[in-house]
Amino acid sequence: MPRKKKTEAGKEEITAAAGAKTAEVAAAAAPEKTGKKKKRAKKKVAIVSIRRKESVARAIIKDGKGVIRVNNLSIGAIQNPYAREIIYEPIRMAGDRVNNLEILVSIHGGGVIGQAQAARTAIAKGIVAFTKDDELRAIYLDYDRFLLVPDPRRVEPKKFKGRKARARFQKSYR
């Protein structure tokens, strides 16, 4: 409950409960707002998600020092040399355009080669989206269309009366 208090100058000040600042002191201590905010420059980033078979690859491309990481591993640390070459293909074709780009790829699901193909497409599509380079896009499309366009094929589900999707059990007459 506010109470009135006489000051030395004879003015009445209203104070709140114990230890609260007066209205005059609070107004003097409050910083003045100018209404201008500092705007941060937005960093340019391209995020691409691609599916291939059962694998899903997500690539993040941004300005950097030329670091290329796949599942937090350097691209040279990938053990399967065939998978490493599949992933490295769009980077090799882009040449000097990717020297100052940081490429981070995370992949999950599917097998080794399906993951490599998903990462390959995600990297290529991300580089084209980030650089907006029509010449590079044409190079990718001439080399292999699936560098930029995801492969829509999926595994057909197994049906009854058979071992696989289309194969049927063998018929025996005796």
Dihedral sign, Cα of residue 156, residue 161, residue 166, residue 169: positive
Pair 96, 30: CB distance under 8 Å: no
Domains contained in the chain, CATH given: 45-147 (3.30.230.10)
pLDDT of residue 166: 95
pTM value > 0.75: no
Report strand pairing: 55-63 vs 101-108.
Answer: antiparallel
pLDDT confidence of residue 41:
73
Q: What is the 3-state secondary structure (H, E, C) of 134-174?
A: HHHHHHHHHHCHHHCCCCCCCCCCCCCCCCCCCCCCCCCCC
pLDDT digits (tens, 9 = 90+) for 81-119: 999 999 999 999 998 888 899 999 999 999 999 999 999
